[in-house]
DNA sequence: CGAGATTCATGTGAAGTATACCTTTAGGCTTAA
DNA sequence: AAGCCTAAAGGTATACTTCACATGAATCTCGTA
């Protein structure tokens, strides 16, 4: 006990190198956004008519991850609704991330969570989908207002459930008496619109905004700006920002990654009682981020998925080695029987493996081996140094 | 020797099933007049 | 008689299974040079 009190005391008296760590969190919205003037202006001028209670055009936004799409949209809509509030213009913004499982990854759930934002609770299952539409419909049409629905990572939704949802959403306007909705779709898949129903495509992308990647210099400026607010003066060693930017620029100019890197490096520096963020902290941070991300994904998988993941690790944890669906499935059957777990069918396992590919846990592609059939060729995408740790987690969670 | 047919192992789409959950309805019980 | 609670009935979404067909290049077959 005494030890811990001591620990907390020193923790508090020890001065952190952070001034305000929040600034580096990905949820943080700075008051001025660098290098996105053009995009911000575009979005703002498209949305501005909302203040005169006209329906703004639908917007389709694309650009790779970490190019500031979400940030810019949130920033604009936040300012816009501030003005709207001041002038008592009825304007409502709904931000939804379609990637989140159990939140908005099916048509039903999307409309359900949307209704939830209007204080109309919808049960997680049981209602017919059109019933949910009706609930949503009456919720938004209850009083006159302009509603902007922001669908982040919209490509995820469509690839899983098709574009009917979008069609229904864009069509809903003609039925509404009081309100009008417009949709902002955000996607980081540039080819996303290609497989879209032409009607949906044309109405969703009445306006388009493109976010190009940042270059290394721009990322540096962003990092400096945020670093200045986040860290106390003189706590960043020379070259740290530069290296951080270089690492991120290597990955198509992903600013989110750069900021995360800087934050985690700072945390590591703090923890090791260092007075400055050093270059070595960056290296450590890179590992830690990757590790945490993967461990997080693995931990949050359902049991069956974990069993399959475990099978993959047993088969060949080597990054280079290739393996096929057949190998995986037969081994998986073994593991299931030794675990007393009812095995899924091969059909299902095939889908799960495809999902692992999407999650980046494995790399997979479908190949034909000619006379020897056709299969999914896979290789592990989890770095070697993490394998034992992942294995341990799975063992724990599967009671092995 | 080369064009076309064959073959294998599994991908993939569609339809069916089990489960968990929702609303509605009918019956049974209580309560108040 | 009206009100309230409970359990059964009837309905849905979702995760998974079952069924059946699609794939595509290595290999085989067979006619031809």
Nearest residue to C24 (CA, C1')? A368
Q: How high is the pLDDT of residue A205?
A: 87
Nucleic strand B near CB of residue A358 (< 7 Å): no
Q: Are A51 and A176 in the same domain? A: yes
**CATH number, domain containing residue A265:** 1.10.8.60
Nearest residue to C15 (CA, C1')? A348
CB distance A35 to A231 below 8 Å:
no
Q: Are A199 and A225 in the same domain? A: no
Q: How high is the pLDDT of residue A396?
A: 92
Share the mean pLDDT of chain A: 89
Nucleic strand C near CB of residue A128 (< 7 Å): yes
End-to-end CA distance of chain A: 34
Nucleic strand C near CB of residue A123 (< 7 Å): no
Q: Are A138 and A55 in the same domain? A: yes
Nucleic strand C near CB of residue A126 (< 7 Å): yes
Nucleic strand C near CB of residue A153 (< 7 Å): no
State CA A371 to chain mean position distance: 41
Which 3-state string (H, E, C) describes A283-310?
HHHHHHHHHHHHHHHHHCCCHHHHHHHH
As a rounded value in angstroms, the CA-to-C1' distance for A323 and C26 is 19
Q: Are A229 and A202 in the same domain? A: no
**CATH number, domain containing residue A312:** 1.10.10.10
Nucleic strand C near CB of residue A345 (< 7 Å): yes
Q: Are A68 and A200 in the same domain? A: yes
Q: Are A371 and A336 in the same domain? A: yes
Classify residue A43: in a domain, yes or no: yes
Q: Are A313 and A373 in the same domain? A: yes
Q: Which domain holds residue A393?
A: 301-398
CB-neighbour burial class of residue A224 (10 A; exposed 0-12, middle 13-18, buried 19+):
middle
Chain segment A96-130, per-residue pLDDT in tens: 998 887 788 889 999 999 998 988 888 888 888 88
Question: What nucleotide is nearest A364 when CA is compared to C1'?
Answer: B11
CB distance A390 to A299 below 8 Å:
no
- Count of Cβ atoms closer than 10 Å to residue A287 Cβ: 14
Q: Are A219 and A202 in the same domain? A: no
Count of structural domains, chain A:
3
Q: Which nucleotides of B are covered by protein (CB under 7 A)?
A: 6-14, 20-23
Nucleic strand B near CB of residue A370 (< 7 Å): yes
Q: How are beta strands A180-187 and A59-63 bridged, if at all? A: parallel
Chain segment A22-41, per-residue pLDDT in tens: 889 988 999 889 999 999 99
Q: Are A133 and A153 in the same domain? A: yes
Q: Are A291 and A352 in the same domain? A: no
The token duo for A129 is 């989908």
Decide which of A181, A211, A241 is a domain's last residue: A211
Mean pLDDT of all residues in A139-157: 90
Q: How high is the pLDDT of residue A157?
A: 87
How sure is the predictor about A14, in pLDDT bands with cuts at 50, 70 and 90? low
As a rounded value in angstroms, the CA-to-C1' distance for A373 and B6 is 12
Mean pLDDT of all residues in A164-190: 89
Classify residue A53: in a domain, yes or no: yes
**CATH number, domain containing residue A197:** 3.40.50.300
Nucleic strand B near CB of residue A11 (< 7 Å): no
Mean pLDDT of all residues in A379-392: 91
């Amino acid at each position: 006990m005494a030890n811990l009190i001591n620990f907390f005391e020193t923790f508090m008296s020890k001065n952190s190198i952070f001034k305000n760590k929040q600034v580096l969190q990905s949820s943080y919205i700075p008051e001025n956004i660098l290098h996105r003037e053009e995009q911000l202006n575009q979005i703002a001028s498209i949305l501005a008519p909302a203040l005169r209670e006209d329906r703004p055009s639908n917007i389709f936004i694309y650009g790779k991850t970490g190019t500031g799409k979400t940030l810019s949209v949130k920033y604009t809509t936040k300012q816009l609704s501030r003005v709207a509030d001041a002038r008592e213009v009825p304007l409502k913004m709904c931000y939804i991330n379609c990637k989140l499982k159990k939140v908005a990854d099916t048509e039903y759930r999307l409309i359900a969570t949307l209704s939830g934002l209007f204080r109309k609770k919808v049960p997680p299952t049981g209602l017919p989908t059109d019933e949910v539409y009706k609930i949503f419909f009456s919720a938004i049409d209850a009083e006159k207002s302009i509603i902007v629905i922001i669908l982040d990572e919209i490509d995820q939704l469509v690839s899983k459930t098709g574009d009917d949802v979008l069609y229904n959403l864009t069509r809903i306007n003609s039925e509404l008496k009081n309100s009008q909705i417009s949709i902002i779709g955000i996607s980081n898949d540039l080819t996303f619109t290609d497989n879209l129903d032409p009607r949906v495509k044309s109405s969703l992308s009445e306006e388009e905004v493109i976010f190009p990647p940042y270059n290394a210099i721009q990322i540096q400026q962003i990092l400096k700006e945020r670093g200045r607010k986040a860290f106390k003066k003189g706590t960043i060693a020379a070259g740290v920002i530069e290296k951080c930017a270089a690492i991120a620029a290597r990955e198509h100019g992903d600013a989110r990654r750069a900021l995360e890197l800087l934050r985690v490096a700072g945390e590591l520096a703090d923890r090791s009682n260092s007075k400055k963020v050093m270059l070595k902290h960056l290296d450590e941070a890179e590992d830690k981020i990757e590790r945490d991300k993967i461990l997080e994904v693995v931990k949050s998988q359902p049991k069956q998925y974990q069993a399959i993941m475990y099978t993959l690790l047993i088969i060949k944890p080597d990054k280079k080695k290739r393996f096929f669906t057949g190998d995986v499935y037969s081994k998986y059957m073994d593991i299931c029987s030794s675990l007393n777990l009812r095995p899924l069918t091969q059909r299902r396992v095939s889908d799960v493996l495809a999902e692992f590919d999407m999650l980046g846990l494995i790399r997979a592609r479908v190949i034909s081996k000619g006379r020897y059939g056709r299969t999914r060729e896979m290789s592990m995408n989890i770095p070697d140094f993490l394998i034992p740790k992942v294995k341990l987690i799975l063992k724990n969670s599967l009671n092995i």
